Amino acid sequence: MSENKQRLLDERYMRMATIWAENSYCKRRKVGALIVKDKMIISDGYNGTPSGFENICEDEDNETKPYVLHAEANAISKVACSHNSSLGATMYVTTSPCIECAKLIIQAGIKRVVYNQKYRRTDGCALLERAGIETTYIDIDNFDDINKEENEQ
């Protein structure tokens, strides 16, 4: 696949992950994640509380509650309960993974991670790269430029 076509696919899935993040009840940061394999979305997730818990992610001090699940963990948990395999898949996540999610991504066999916002800590991406997982940052401000380029061809 050409680099331009891959970039267009990345853009489209990233826009979908951004829309999926809107499902989050978290106020401080809404994060969405998609796991894609063979051009099919095999799982999705957004940050939030575990099933059956109240949909309130922050405490009275506006700190994230310790039991809030990250979007990546939700997507990986969902695919683990399905008949799909994430081996060799790509994860699209709106914010670069933290170190804990990076460990889950490695164990899930995901081979590529695309994100559009940089998390304040970079240790998650560093661990992914150490494990040989490709990480790609896409600046969402450039989406329109990519679409314009594709339409001109």
Average pLDDT over residues 108-134: 96
According to the model, what pLDDT value does residue 139 have?
A: 87
What is the per-residue pLDDT across 26-48, written as a single tens digit (0 to 9) for each? 999 999 999 999 999 999 999 99
| Rounded distance between C-alpha atoms, residue 12 and residue 51, angstroms | 29
Helix 99-107 × helix 123-130 angle, to 10°: 20
Cα-based distances in Å from 28 to 58, 61, 64: 8, 12, 8
- Render pLDDT for 134-149 as a digit per residue (tens, 0 to 9): 999 998 766 554 445 5
Give catalytic residues, as residue numbers.
72
State the angle between helix axes of 3-21 and 143-152 in degrees (0 to 180), rounded to the nearest 10: 140
Is there a contact between 94 and 113 (Cβ–Cβ < 8 Å)?
no
Distance CA 19, CA 32 (A): 8
* 93 strand-pairing partners: 33, 115
